[in-house]
Structure 1
Amino acid sequence: MSVITLDDVSVVFHEGKRTIQAVNNVNLTVNQGEIFGIVGFSGAGKSTLVRTINLLERPTSGRVLLDGRDITQARGRELRDIRKRIGFIFQSFNLIGNVTVEENIIFALRAGGWPRAEWKQRVSELLALVGLESKASSYPSSLSGGQRQRVSIARALANKPEILLCDEATSALDLETAGEILDLLRRINHELGITIVFITHQLDVAKSIFDRVAVMEHGRIVEQGNTFDLFGDPQHPTTRALVERYLGVGLPAQLVPDLPAGDLIELRYKGDSALEPLISQVARTWNVSVNVLHANVEYFGTQAIGTLVVSVDGTDEARQNALRALQDNVFSYRELDRAALAAAAERDAERVVPVTQTPTNEGERR
């Protein structure tokens, strides 16, 4: 069942004489209890779009519906009641620095109209949920980034929301801490049944927890669907660029001068397929040499998307037969250009400045 519907939503900003179309006729639905992701490069309009859901950013045109009810024009008490249903987690934590963790959470409880007598118990419940039972009297400045984000999550959950909006909630954290926060959000989704809308430019996040995903570019949704299917077989150039940046296997520059003879091919597979038996079979059948030069496998949930770069060498006829066999049995096949790889390796080498060449006097500096 759909809990959030955006119907032809647009947001236009005016800066002096400039008109900026931050969100452009977006249509999407988010189902009850799912983790829905919105991804795209910086400036795509993701943050503006997600803020229309709780009307922190009011649409210039179009409608926002919660459980089928149009809330776009909500004001006053009606808007306050709507926002109690929607928690918000910020990239920068957005905590009050001069009060304790407990008081940060109480701030949300007071705004939500909770009886004072229940504050202590509710704070204890929330801190236990996020694993910070011992930090009630600590100040945000004494906490790590991950701990601060846990406080932000506890505060966002204070009024028992049905929806949780996450605006780049892990991009300010290191990889290990980000993974812990994603695990916590997944647990909150499963145990509490809270619908999560998460915006990010990081496909690590997408592959870890999104059920479905929409890709944004220049304020528009250009592609959306099941996470594995969308990233396994992207159709739009923006989606393909995101996937290539994440799944693409670039040969290390130091390997390029010594690449073995033969055709250089990038192969990609998805799902339960595997390339190792295929490569062995092709090598035996056509009497060719197949060398695996570089590889990468990423799991979206329990399903894999793998990429290999191989060289295939042999007689002309055998090599062509082998290449056709490979191409027929993978979902993505791309021939790599040796000259382009060599040029890229040379550019990378030129960017490296040896530390031993630090200028020692003014003349050398000039």
Structure 2
Amino acid sequence: MVVGHFLKWLDTARVAERAAAAAALARAYVQNELPFEDRCAAEAALTLLLDDPSAKVRLAMAEALSMSRHAPMQVVSVLASDQPEVAGVVLARSPLLTDADLIDRVACGLPATQKLIADRPLVSMAVSAAIAEVGEPEACAALLANSGADIASLSFRRMAERHGDLALVREALIADPRLPSDCRHVLLVKVGEALKRAPLVAALMGASRAERVMREACIKASLTLIDGTRAEEHAALVEHLRLRGDLTSGFLVRTIAYGKVDFFGAALVALTGQAESRVRSLLAGGKDVALTALFRSAGLSAATHGVILTALKVWREVANGKRLAGAQEVSWLMLQQLGDTSAERDLAGLLKSLHVEALRDNARRHALAIAAA
């Protein structure tokens, strides 16, 4: 029997010869070139070769077996647990490794091993979840760059929470079109926190002013984020902001002043528990009494009711083609509704700042348009 001669020859062969012979035997096995008896003997020989003291021999076997569905499972399993140089070939390619096998190696593997698994042509949602939960930054970045990886929304969130302050992962997350909007908000907050902690910022502004500037920048960025968020993702973003404590009356006043009516409606649905269809109907054409009751149910302060109603009426007219207006005009009209109570004075300060922001934005766009003409 050919395999019998091969096993006797192993004792005297040099490493290079054993590696070449092991690769040839492995290729013959996976290509089904051997009769049944020789095939059984070849499988036994390949199993024996797992004990070869030279990593070069085991690597030659791994390269020959790694891409085949016909490789002996026990041989592939042992090679996948070999030293990184050998195991990497199998972990990166073998179709015989189950999700459970890969998850075990993600959980206890080296960063290089995790990255190899993240780079596999197809990565299941379960394996992606394991990498998101315990993977090193390099592995998470590789997973995000892999178009063959199936990644759940929760896994995106875990990577944003764990590694969002690292540029390598943050940039990979932002570049991924599948990234949910609430994860984008997590990342912009992390960027703001990183800037706030920067020694230069702290030295120039002081801690309290840096905190205030960071908070205001994050609020503005959140409004911009809403524009790029699909309507079906509004509920998830609302829930994320609510859990963070960012879904305040002031924030909702900002959203309606800037015409984010769909998002405002999603927030009211979450805060009141009422049906989405009813909330949409009220925002589109509801009476002031019904809308005020809705705002009260959502926990919005009484001082905000009148200004929100004013903004809604303007945006309705804009939607119906009866009026041309933007945030500059709406914030000014909202401001005109306020009196001189303490709560209204606080709200007036917010609306004045919104109005000034809108004026500056419009002036900047006008200047740029003139320069481009």
More helix by percentage: 2
Greater relative contact order, per chain length (Cα 8 Å cut-off, separation 6+): 1
TM-score normalized by structure 2? 0.27
- The structure having more radius of gyration, on CA atoms, is 2
Q: What TM-score do the two structures reach when normalised by structure 1? A: 0.27
Task: Pick the structure with more strand per residue.
Answer: 1
